[in-house]
Amino acid sequence: MTHEEDILQAVYQVILDRKANPSDKSYTSSLMSGGIDKILKKVGEEAIEVVIAAKGGSRDEIIYESTDLIFHLLVLLGHQNIPPEAIYNELKRRFGISGITEKAARPSTCC
């Protein structure tokens, strides 16, 4: 496991702990208690903030907002009981495959 995976896993474990042991003083607990809609709202807000930061071109803002987005994605994964390893494995599966080819091979989820 890389250093990057270590910190993501460590944050994910704290998120799971807050889910199992809620605290009134925990932001993560408040997200979990708000349910999927509250979590999705935050993911959406943070994604928009990444876009705005990238448009503005400030490296520090892009890093800051991307960190917020990744954190909230980890909260979403924790809420849905999806370990970060599932994401790593999917990235590994896709590595070396054209994005166009990979997307075309997915089963249709529309209509």
Q: Is 97 part of any domain?
A: no
Q: What range does the domain containing 52 cover?
A: 3-82
- Residue 13 in contact with residue 43, Cβ under 8 Å? no
| Domain assignment present for 108 | no
Give a yes or no: residue 56 inside a domain. yes
Number of domains in the chain: 1
- What is the rounded distance in angstroms from the CA atom of residue 46 to the CA atom of residue 1? 27
Confidence of residue 107 (pLDDT cuts 50, 70, 90): confident
Distance CA(58)–CA(34), nearest Å, equals 32
Tens of pLDDT, residues 13-65 = 999 999 999 999 999 999 999 999 999 999 999 999 999 999 998 999 999 99
d(CA 10, CA 38): 23
Residue whose pair of structure tokens reads 């390893």 in the numeric block: 85
Q: Please report whether residue 57 resides in a domain.
A: yes
DSSP at 79: H
d(CA 11, CA 18): 11
Is the dihedral angle over the CA atoms 16, 14, 35, 54 positive or is it negative? negative
User: Which range among 12-16, 72-76, 96-100 shows the weakest confidence by mean pLDDT?
Assistant: 96-100
Q: Tell me if 100 is assigned to some domain.
A: no
pLDDT above 70 (res 102): no
pLDDT at 95: 87
In this prediction, residues 72-100 reach a mean pLDDT of 91
Q: What is the CATH number of the domain that holds 70?
A: 1.10.287.1080
Question: Is residue 54, in this structure, part of any structural domain at all?
Answer: yes
